[in-house]
Amino acid sequence: MRDVTISGRPGGTLLRFPAERRALPTIELVRSLLPEYATVYNQLARRGLGEPPHPAAVEAEGRRTGMKMLGDITLPPDPRTAREDVTRWFQPLIDRMLRRLTELQDLGWTGDRQTRHDDSRQALIATTTMSVWRTGTRLLAAWAVLDGALTAHAAASLCRVEQQAAR
C-alpha cells in the first residue's frame, strides 16, 4: 500500500497516514482498530446483506485455532523466552491482519471520495468489513488462548523456582 499524495507540489502533500503505519504492529493495535460487531451488523443490514455470525461462534473458532497452534509448539522452560518465541511466531498473523485493516480503510477512504453514489462499492465495503471483523475476532481469540498458556507456563515456572528455593 502506498500513501496517497498530491503530486503537484514539491515532495507531494500527504492526505492520510493511518494509525497502523505509525505504531508497532501488536495484538493491542489490532484490537483497537478492529470494527465493532454493531458497526458490521449495521453496515450489512443497511445493504440487505444478512448479518454477520454471532461473535461467540467466531470466538469459539478462534479458540479452537489457538488450541491447535498451542499443540504444534513446544514452550521453552524460561517464561520470558517462551513469550518472546510465541510472540515472534504469531507476528506474521498480526502483520497480515493489519494489512487487511489498512486495505479496508483504503477501500472506505476511496469510496467516501467518489462523487457518485455507488451501491455496489458500499456493498463491497460492508462485506469486506464483515470479513475483516471475523478474521480479526478469530485472531484475538486464538491469541487469548496462547496468552493464557504463556501466563500459566510462567506461573508454573515460578512455582518450580519457589519449590526449589524452599528446599
Q: How many CB atoms lie within 10 A of CB 158?
A: 11
pLDDT of residue 40: 93
| Cα 127 to Cα 9: distance, rounded to the nearest angstrom | 36
Which DSSP helix (H) or strand (E) runs through 5?
Answer: strand 5-6
Distance of CA 63 to the CA centre of its chain: 14
**What is the mean pLDDT, run by run of 10 residues, along the chain of 167 residues?**
45 53 78 92 90 94 94 88 91 92 83 68 89 95 94 73 48
Q: How many CB atoms lie within 10 A of CB 131?
A: 14
pLDDT of residue 120: 81
pLDDT of residue 154: 84
CA dihedral 23, 25, 26, 27 (to 10 degrees): 120
pTM: 0.76
Specify whether the backbone of 11 is left (phi greater than 0), alpha (psi in -120 to 50) or beta: left
Q: How far apart, in Å, are the Cα atoms of 60 and each of 25, 50, 134, 161?
A: 24, 21, 11, 34
SS3 call for 106? helix
pLDDT of residue 158: 54
Q: How far apart, in Å, are the Cα atoms of 104 and each of 100, 126, 160?
A: 6, 10, 47
